[in-house]
Amino acid sequence: MSNLLAPYIFRAGDAEAMLTFYQQALGGDLTLARFADMPGDHGDEVQPDWIMHGELHTPDGWLLLASDGATPGGDTPGAVTLCVMGSDVDHGTAVFHKLSEGATITIAFEQQFWGATYGQLVDRFGVTWAVNVGQGNQQ
């Protein structure tokens, strides 16, 4: 599998409506995972029926990602994270390491409950990056 760079859009309760609208406009397959279906305490900032992770794969090969969850950096609704996805953990580790120069790491790059190795950082230019690689990557 090749690597992919995709936008990850953060919302505050309307990620499902947004992705459904994009699906109607662009076509494709939509998958949604709700906070109620995920392990752990998600705090008071999210509702159980909100979207923890949503993916829209369009017929044109585009991938749009979205979540209703607050990001560790406290991004506002509408904020976009650049998400690097792929199957090669070594490559993902190298990408995360290179991007982390001068960055603030908000989620350590490590194995996650969904099976992938994941980490998140805000680079020295203020851009939020997520790297999600390996087994369990739903890409």
- Sequence length of the chain is 139
CA dihedral for 88, 82, 21, 115, sign (positive or negative): positive
pLDDT band at residue 111 under the 50/70/90 scheme: very high
Q: Where are the domains of the chain?
A: 4-133
Average pLDDT, the chain: 86
Instruction: Give mean pLDDT, residues 130-135.
Output: 91
In this prediction, residue 42 carries a pLDDT of 62
Which two structure tokens, joined as six digits, stand for 100? Answer: 């982390």
* Res 139 pLDDT > 70: no
Which two structure tokens, joined as six digits, stand for 85? Answer: 């996805």
Taking alpha carbons only, the member of 99, 45, 109, 107 closest to residue 77 is: 45
SS3 letters across 28-51: CEEEEEEHHHCCCCCCCCCCCCCE
In this prediction, residue 109 carries a pLDDT of 97
User: How far apart, in whole angstroms, are the C-alpha atoms of residue 42 and residue 90?
Assistant: 30
**Arch. (CATH architecture) of 4-133:** Roll (3.10)
* Res 15 pLDDT > 60: yes
User: How far apart, in whole angstroms, are the C-alpha atoms of residue 34 and residue 53?
Assistant: 7
Q: What is the pLDDT of residues 34-66, one digit of tens each?
A: 998 888 776 667 788 999 999 999 998 889 999
Say which residue the tokens 């909100």 belong to: 50
Helical H segments across the chain, by residue range: 15-26, 89-99
Q: What is the pLDDT of residues 68-98, one digit of tens each?
A: 876 555 556 678 899 899 899 998 999 999 9
